[in-house]
Amino acid sequence: MIDVKLLNGIALAFEGDAIYSTYIRRHLIFQGLTKPNRLHQVATRYVSAKAQAMLINQMLEEGMLTEEEELIYKRGRNANSHTKAKNTDVITYRMSTGFEAVLGYLHMSNQIERLETLIVWCIQKIEQ
């Protein structure tokens, strides 16, 4: 068994990216969006690096994250991914990686209620 607390930030972000995308896709489909092209267009508002960086910044400003979640965020943000940011600057890309790491950590440590609380908050922020 792997201790999720010891996983590197990139591995956690890899999981978090998939989980967040799944929740967003489900949300959009339940909103009545069913055409793939439109789904992709709208999903970008939620899952882009810029959107994720904005969301994590607001979470930090509002003190939403636990101490442990902040440490996971920093681990993801500071991880060396060996990939280049697409359509954004390096700082925004790293912040979004930290965001995804938090979600990945929560999912992999079976903190599903907390994960869903944060995702619902994110959806509400984007849709304001």
Residues 6+ apart with CB under 8 A from 107: 15, 16, 19, 115
H, E, C per residue of the chain: CCCHHHCCHHHHHHHHHHHHHHHHHHHHHHCCCCCHHHHHHHHHHHHCHHHHHHHHHHHHHCCCCCHHHHHHHHHHHHCCCCCCCCCCCHHHHHHHHHHHHHHHHHHHCCCHHHHHHHHHHHHHHHHC
89 is catalytic: no
Name the catalytic one among 9, 13, 15, 17: 17
By annotation, the residues acting in catalysis are 17
